[in-house]
Amino acid sequence: MKFFASSKHILLLSLLFWVTTVWAQDKQQQKLDASVRVIQEFSKLRESIPKQLIQKTEGIIIIPGLINAGFVLGGKRGKGIAMIKNADGTWTNPVFLTMTGGSFGFQAGIQSVDLVLVFLNKTSLSEIGKSSFTLGGDISVAAGPVGRTSSAGTDYKMESEVYSYSRSKGLFAGISLSGSSLDIDQKANDSFYGGGDDATTLFANKKASAVPVVKTLKQTLNSLYRK
């Protein structure tokens, strides 16, 4: 009887672990699906990310539904993905991360923002695999130029390391990213990839993920500058 009870207990624990793992993987899948939608919706805007800028970019961060909220004191919180462009123009598999930050000033309300950060130097983004960094502190960030024409990308003085683009819904007129921190979400990476690899290892892995949404995400990014 004790053996039977013990076996039943082990079975229940195994089932619980399996359900938790599947739920976690599904959560990351939803984040990837949302990232694809963000890029697709950005591409439809008349004043979108210039093709010339996307051609120059060496890395990108996509954070769907970043929450920006506050009353005098404000805060930001969101989860998204980061990808680096390889030397041959292909994209690495996505690495999951979080953004957190605070602000002080006259503000009131809640804003949901689809955020895209364009990196002109992949070294800056790959460093997040070693430690977190702060936008506006460790690395400069500015509102990106807009427009589909090549001049929008070539005539703009590319003096910042990172350019931000956002689609806002809510009460804020805009969003300030200065002081926001970017950190690797190791738990999300472990649940999605099924291993203990850190971000640096995941970025360096040349084997393409077999997950269909990852392939779709890469194709969607490529379509931004190959049209």
Structural domain boundaries, residue 190: 2-226
Q: How confident is the model at residue 225, as a pLDDT? A: 64
Q: Which residues in 98-123 are b (16+ Cβ under 10 Å) and which e?
A: bbebebeeebeeebbbbbbbbbbebe
- The whole-angstrom separation of Cα 138 and Cα 142 is 13
Which residues neighbour 84 within 8 Å (Cβ) at sequence distance 6 or greater?
58, 59, 91, 92, 122, 125, 126, 203
End-to-end, the C-alpha distance of the chain in Å comes to 68
SS (HEC) of 151-219 = HHHHCCCCCCCEEEEEEEEECCCCCCCCCCEEEECHHHHHHHHCCCCCHHHHHHCCCCCCCHHHHHHHH
- The whole-angstrom separation of Cα 145 and Cα 179 is 21
| Mean predicted confidence (pLDDT) in 129-157 | 70
Compare 101 and 21 and report the one with higher pLDDT: 101
Q: In this predicted model, what pLDDT tens digit does every residue of 108-125 receive, in sequence order? A: 567 788 999 999 988 888
- Coil/strand/helix, residue 88: coil
The count of structural domains within the chain is 1
Tokens linked to 4: 């039977």
* CB contact at 8 A, 187 and 144: no
- The whole-angstrom separation of Cα 181 and Cα 164 is 14
Confidence of residue 141 (pLDDT cuts 50, 70, 90): confident
* CB contact at 8 A, 71 and 108: yes
Q: Within 13 Å of residue 225, how many CA atoms lie on the same side as its CB?
A: 17
pLDDT tops 70 at residue 157? no
* CB contact at 8 A, 227 and 50: no
Vertex 202: Cα angle to 139 and 59 (nearest 5): 35
Residue 185 exposed, middle or buried by CB count within 10 Å (0-12, 13-18, 19+): buried
Q: In this predicted model, what pLDDT tens digit does every residue of 2-58 receive, in sequence order? A: 444 555 555 545 444 444 444 446 889 999 999 999 999 888 876 678 888 888 899
Q: Which residues pair with 167 in a beta bridge?
A: 114
Q: Distance of alpha carbon 213 from its chain centroid, rounded?
A: 14
